[in-house]
Amino acid sequence: MKTIGLRATPTEVWFSVIEEVDHKITISVSSKVNVPVSLIFPEKLNYIRKTFKDIIWEFKVTGASIRITESNAQGTSSERISIEAILQELLSSSSVEKYFVGQISNISAKAGFPREDFKKYISGELAFNRVESWSTYNNYQKESILAAIAAINL
């Protein structure tokens, strides 16, 4: 099963498409889609929806997870929340069979490690050994990879 993990910011959406074979994670792609600054906000959401619809189709993704804003986040962004919402809407009406949205605790539980290790994996304090070359990915890529891994266990 191929899964996608998504991590939005107000200006970009990071995503990773992975597959697990014999407990080994293979990453098909880990990248970002920039939100075009020249568009008005509803057009930005439409762009994101269409782009990720194509990505899901291209990679034949059947499972997904969105790493959403923490409820206690100090700098909550309405743009990020709107982007997360449009991604949720896309997943609910796409060919994706299983998906969930989750914060750090949900993703950690589904990926099979303690919540307190999430930020250690992101910062590089701990190496996530199921992914080759873990240290070469940036923090947003790591979050999207962990979200995709969590989606495997749905």
User: For the chain, what is the domain count?
Assistant: 1
**pLDDT of 73:** 65
What are 93-114's pLDDT values in tens digits? 999 999 999 999 999 999 999 9
Q: What is the pLDDT of residues 12-57, one digit of tens each?
A: 999 999 999 888 899 999 999 999 999 999 999 999 999 999 999 9
The answer to whether 122 touches 143, Cβ cutoff 8 Å, is: yes
C-alpha to C-alpha distance for 2 and 10, rounded to whole angstroms: 26
**30, HSE (Cβ side, Cα atoms, 13 Å):** 23
Which domain covers residue 34, as residue numbers?
A: 2-152
> Which tokens is 16 given?
């990773």
- What's the pLDDT tens digit per position in 127-150? 999 999 999 999 999 999 999 999
What 3 state SS string does 101-130 have? EECHHHHHHHHCCCHHHHHHHHHCCCCCCC
